[in-house]
A and B are shown apart, each in its own frame.
Chain A
């Protein structure tokens, strides 16, 4: 009797200890819907259809990524294949499995490649958000679900993009937006699953250029809503990257389908 009782106590405690890192990741449910994206779905003007999904409340932090690297040592910076992460992968950490003083636990993890981000999300039974899911969630400010028509709001986001990223990153946990998601604008760039589907011309003045063969019948994507410069810059950034690339100010968060 007493043994069973002891196990009854021990069980949940052990479970809690094991589950602790996973419990730290909070996901928020978003309703989805029809959404006017900067990248029209059919290349002309069709709105995007976003199915209901869950999004991580905050970007993945150094502490969380450290736990991942410890349990998946093939993703240590001294072990990872160069085709999956470039030479600057996690170099802001003091050691391969020790972030050190410069990379605080609650700061968003940066210098991670798309492959590494994907692998992390898989370890959380999740995936990277699609561009549309990300854009959908990021259109909200603190009170409105779609604040994109407000020039003041657009200007404030643009302000972040104009500042270089040589200052230390703040911790995650800024103001929630109307969906309850934090830090989508103003902290770090974030990977999306289909970053290599953002097939904009690398010379952005070439929009509507009829190089039809290049992308099998469509030419490069033309961008709608050219006033939303912050989003354009985000697309420019993602389309400049390859899957193994890392940068100082690029992190990620995960998503789950409903």
Chain B
């Protein structure tokens, strides 16, 4: 009898237990299940399948590997909040509040349609409670309402990643601005179901503005400055939370002829980024992280609390500098990082410097004092020959010496000499017309034949010609004399029209 009773009891118990067992996951379905709900338009591919996956999180600048899966799964994400003092610049430290011990926080990578079971832990040493708002979550507060966690505690909530894209996550505990300013932000990538196109390198870069009571690079542990944050007056604007995080030995490596993809976020709290890579053009940009790419972009805007995906192909080696092109942020506040590309040169794409020659400009002589003295004197009617010679000397150096040489020697067989020139001495006045209208054809100067073309110096005005010729006549053993502006004007007018100036 007792045995019968016990069997009955056992049966009841087993039945009760059985009714609680969940149905085993269907592992065979690979295609998304058909659904007529609105959510499926955005990416509700049905319930998760297969074993739960523990998400691989990475610290910046690294990105978890691409997902190779064609069904929605349950993904378990465990993220810890740690408050810690770290260097922000050389000799300067700051108390950062971090997701996963880094600024920006760990990179999370899931697939559209995944069911994410999110565990937020707050280290026991933390002073503050924290939560998380993921911009990829559809639900109140982006998860913030469900993840408010006191120090030494853990919260869990679950969401379905309905939309593909690259999304910012950040802490949303009061005062929100301070939590974000202390570094509590990161990126979560929700891959489209077909995945992203293959590239050679994927990197994680996130800009943020920082506010300290001390000045830029003032040494020591710097506290957060709330007034500066409200005034939107940052002390530092940095990639990945630290000056030098992506320079020198920490530069992002790549080789020539590789495809590089950057996931670029902007945690703010305040500033918008004008993201640019010096020397590269973005072949493809998903602006604001949206689905439809733009091509051939030089600089892309990344809003505070936003992100973008940029791709480019490396062609020639060198250091390519990532900046916020609000340029004082790059050079005076630290918004600077480097992509170091190694490999063989390709001169057809970029040659490097080919020629380095002297450029005199129109007036090579930096000091044109004599010219302005002469001009004043002429206007006053007091111009002396000496003033003309001085002015003419400066002007000669800028214009004539290129060919006739600074000492009037000329160039054998090319440019006739002006020094002790018998040609000049034979008819000094003739020189006026030569300068204003040019000269071609055979001439003999000092026993040498010259058959060249001197172009008209149409850029010289009358008193410039007068001063130059006065100088020449009184230099290098020439007979001397003086040419006036009025004479030049007359000679210019009398001669037939000069051809267009070529100089």
Contact = CB atoms under 8 A, between A and B. Distances in A.
A/B contact in complex, CB under 8 angstroms? yes
Interface of A: 88, 151, 154-155, 158-159, 161-166, 189, 200-206, 223, 226, 229, 232-233, 235-237, 239-241, 245-249
Residue with the highest number of chain A CB atoms closer than 10 Å, among B125, B148, B150, B176: B150
Contact of B176 (A155, A204, A223, A237): A204
A249 B145 contact: no
B127 A161 contact: yes
A89 B157 CA distance: 26
Contacts of A204: 172-176
Nearest to B150: A240
Interface stretch (B220-228, B231-239, B352-360): B220-228
A205 B176 contact: yes
Contact of B174 (A166, A232, A246, A247): A232
B224 A203 contact: no
A164 B141 contact: no
A158 B85 contact: no
Nearest to B182: A162
Listed from nearest, the 6 A-B pairs whose CB atoms lie closest are A240-B129, A203-B141, A204-B174, A202-B148, A164-B83, A203-B144
A164 B85 contact: yes
A223 B174 contact: yes
A35 B153 CA distance: 34
A146 B126 CA distance: 29
Given A164-B85, A247-B151, A203 B140 contact: yes
Nearest to B142: A203
B128 interface: yes
24 contacts: A155-B226, A155-B227, A162-B178, A162-B182, A164-B95, A165-B127, A166-B125, A200-B174, A201-B145, A202-B131, A202-B145, A203-B145, A204-B175, A205-B176, A232-B175, A233-B175, A236-B129, A236-B173, A237-B150, A247-B124, A247-B151, A247-B152, A248-B124, A249-B127
A220 B174 CA distance: 14
A232 B151 CA distance: 17
Given A165-B125, A204-B174, A236-B128, A249 B223 contact: no
B152 A248 contact: yes
Contacts of B125: 164-166, 248
A240 B149 contact: yes
B176 to A, nearest CB: 6
A73 B129 CA distance: 31
Residue with the highest number of chain A CB atoms closer than 10 Å, among B85, B124, B133, B174: B174
A165 B125 CA distance: 5
Residue with the highest number of chain A CB atoms closer than 10 Å, among B128, B146, B172: B128
B172 A205 contact: yes
Contact of A229 (B126, B129, B178): B178
B84 interface: yes
B152 A164 contact: no
B354 to A, nearest CB: 55
Interface string B208-228: 000001000000000111110
B314 to A, nearest CB: 41
Given A204-B174, A235-B174, A163 B127 contact: yes
A107 B43 CA distance: 55
A98 B223 CA distance: 37
